[in-house]
Structure 1
Amino acid sequence: MKNLGLLPRLVIGIILGILIGITKIEFLTKILVTFTGIFGNFLGFIIPLLIIAFVAPGIAELGDRAGKLLGITAGIAYLSTILAGILAFFVASMILPSIITAGGEVGEGAKVAGYFQIEIPAIMGVMTALVTAFLLGLGMAAIKGKAIFNFMNEFQEIINKVIKNIIIPLLPVHIAGVFARMAFSGQVARTLSVFSRVIVMVFILHVAYILLQYLLAGAYTGMNPFRAIKNMLPAYFTAIGTQSSAATIPVTVRSTKANGITDEVVEFVIPLCATIHLAGSTITLTTCAIAVMALEGMGVNFGQFLPFILMLGVTMVAAPGVPGGAIMAALGLLETMLGFGEPQLALMMAIYIAQDSFGTAANVTGDGAIAIFVNKIAKGIKV
């Protein structure tokens, strides 16, 4: 199992959970549901720590680099991420509610409960964690001290190990419990039908947004957008395999230089955008959230989603470089801003991770488009 990627293990977990649920093996279903309850509480505990561990050092590192060009690049990356989320909202909110039949809450009607529950309250709320992360990050950037920065980097390593060695390995078991409960109560067929529709829509939105980015970059600089996309294909396909923007940086750098971007701009923009430009992930999260809400019969409105999208662009900064890192960083926002409970969060993780590699590929391909913009703007600006 260790040699399998996260997606195959997730699929195995879903299949096993469904088989256990539909065969009405109650004691196994109860064991899985018990684990799912404990694991969900642990996730709620770790989310604020994750936000502090990754957002604070990320902001501190940004504050130390390249002055004016940093602000320009970060601004373009954030604008691209937010625009991606807004476009995804309007497309998904128009299409998904019409093709997904609402059927009540995911856990509603379940006839099986866990043997016991273990409460693991978080040490602070999500918004408190965000404010704390901003305060620490901006403070570290201002005083340029090393003690707190080194501590935060080590804290980040601890949380990253928790994600890699505990959360990610156990996530398929957690998802198995969710699907066992749904299968036991006869709700699984409806949920699986949603999966296929959402995955197809997300992929189409990714491709459309990549094309839009390069059309805009081409219009601004005079570069042929289709040739530029062709040069970025090695980075796109590498990202599908690595599921990590950071791990794809060497290929992204080489592909971006093939578009005639100067070495100075490429070597600054690409590593920076690997942590702050998450347009593909935002498209995925927004679309998946609307799908889950449509499945639940929850109302969807732009006034509710715009703050969520705006916060996504900040919360996912320096998201851990592991498969599913963006969804881990976004769980707190889904809970506090969209009102998702444990069953809905589990569904979000399952749908998101099922196509996480395509979101990462969209992220890194978009980084090349940002480099085209910055390359022209950077003329006369010393890096």
Structure 2
Amino acid sequence: MKFKIGLIWRIVIAIALAVGLGLLVPEIHEGFAKGFVRFFATFNMIFGGFLNFVVPLIIIAFIAPGIAKLGKGSGKLLGLATVFAYISTITAGILAYLAATTLLPNFVGGVKDSIVGNTGRNPALTFFELEMTPIMGVMSALLLAFIFGIGMASIGSKSLLAVFDEFNVLIEKVISFVIIPLLPFHIFGIFLNMTYSGQVAKVLSVFAMVFIMIIGLHFIMLLIQYSIAGSISKRNPFSLMKTMAPAYMTAIGTQSSAATIPVTLRQARKAGVSERVSGFTIPLFATIHLSGSTITLISCSIGVMLMNGVPIEFTKFLPFILMLGVTMIAAPGVPGGAVIAAVGLLAKMLDFDETMIALMIALYMAQDSFGTATNVTGDGALAIVVDSFTKEEKGSNPKLE
């Protein structure tokens, strides 16, 4: 039986090795340490350039077919499910913004201010520069994805959708077999450079604070979702949450909303959701409802911005949250798919550079399974709400389909 280390553990190992080597190697030989750090700085430059090049392709490959497939469904049922999922995702983002901007500034200072003061070393330079210009900008990719997605849905194009589905599979392969396997090395390089420059202690302390806050926000969001579902369906919200607990635990293990669908579906039906509604909404919510992932993304991004002394404004974050709710549609089933899909928005709307994006990915990946678990558990609450609304409408209109 082949033993496989999960992505989260590979990232944890990469960070631990980077911190250990970053502290140990300079004590042994300063010249070798500079070359070692510089080598990984060059790798990070190449990987970051490749990731920036792929981002517009990711946006088109995931959003266009995702929107097109939303055009298929059961009329009002599709509309209700989509609206509730989007409202829940946006609410989660705003909740995370309010909590992060209230709590994190008390614990996070500007890391960049202390680079020279700690060790006297500057971040390593690369051996050379290599430019990888994306074929289009992030906003152009988003507009193109919307045009194709809405267009395919309106004309019912099966042939064009098949092309985009294959393109989606191709880009998923790039993510699964190139980006995801190389991420631990990229994060290793970033943390090695930060350790060498004397920043890592502050960064890790921020990681711990952000992690604790996010887990708390996940449970608060679930309480909100199930309190609403319980009040509408006239059932005990804590009993409903207990029924959906197996889906939460399964998602922690699989790190995939799609892989957890069978368990989520079974538990939603045990919670009283009709077969018609659960069979339609649960698979749909697995791709469009990402409240847990949104909480993680917003909280992590604010943590990274505070570490780098970047000002945080709600007028800048609200458009980011609104776009995030759309950009993550049909994010790949691979672990960390949501943050990979959000990289373009982070760079375009929040001005993240490559180091900030790497920190963001590391922070997100460490909590990805908990965000996914919150997503799928929340799916059950939304399914209950949709089921209650459709029952009310059917009661008042027997001809409703």
What TM-score bracket applies, with the shorter chain setting the length?
over 0.9
Kindly state the Cα deviation for residue 220 of structure 1 after the two structures are TM-superposed: 1.6
Mapped pair 1:200 → 2:200: no
The 1:32–1:105 alpha-carbon spacing in structure 2 relative to 1, beyond 3 Å, is farther
> Which one has the largest radius of gyration?
2
CA distance in 1, matches of 2:375, 2:140: 28
Equivalent residues in 2 for 1:346-357, closer than 5 Å: 346-357=358-369
Tell me which moved more, 247-256 or 214-223: 214-223
What is the letter of the counterpart of residue 362 of structure 1? T
Mapped pair 1:371 → 2:383: yes
Mapped pair 1:251 → 2:263: yes
- Work out whether residues 29 and 181 of structure 1, in 8 Å CA contact, stay in contact via their aligned partners in 2: yes
What is the letter of the counterpart of residue 74 of structure 1? T
Identify unmatched segments of 5+ residues in structure 1: none
1:159 to 168, 171, 180: 171
Aligned to 2:49: 41
Aligned to 1:77: 85
1:67 to 57, 75, 79: 75
TM-score (norm 2): 0.93
Aligned residue for 1:112, secondary structure, equals coil
Aligned residue for 1:118, secondary structure, equals coil
- Work out whether residues 285 and 352 of structure 1, in 8 Å CA contact, stay in contact via their aligned partners in 2: yes
- Work out whether residues 20 and 28 of structure 1, in 8 Å CA contact, stay in contact via their aligned partners in 2: no
Q: Deviations over 1:105-147 (max 9, x none)?
A: 7999734212112211100010110010000001111111222
Aligned to 2:22: 21
Kindly state the Cα deviation for residue 2 of structure 1 after the two structures are TM-superposed: 7.4
Equivalent residues in 2 for 1:1-383, closer than 5 Å: 3-22=4-23, 23-24=25-26, 25-104=33-112, 110-379=122-391, 380=393, 382-383=400-401
What is the letter of the counterpart of residue 35 of structure 2? F
The alignment-based identity, stated in percent, is: 52
What's the Cα RMSD here? 1.5
The 1:107–1:261 alpha-carbon spacing in structure 2 relative to 1, beyond 3 Å, is farther
CA distance in 1, matches of 2:165, 2:128: 36
Tell me which moved more, 214-223 or 195-204: 214-223
The 1:20–1:147 alpha-carbon spacing in structure 2 relative to 1, beyond 3 Å, is same
Identify unmatched segments of 5+ residues in structure 2: 27-32, 395-399
The 1:370–1:118 alpha-carbon spacing in structure 2 relative to 1, beyond 3 Å, is same
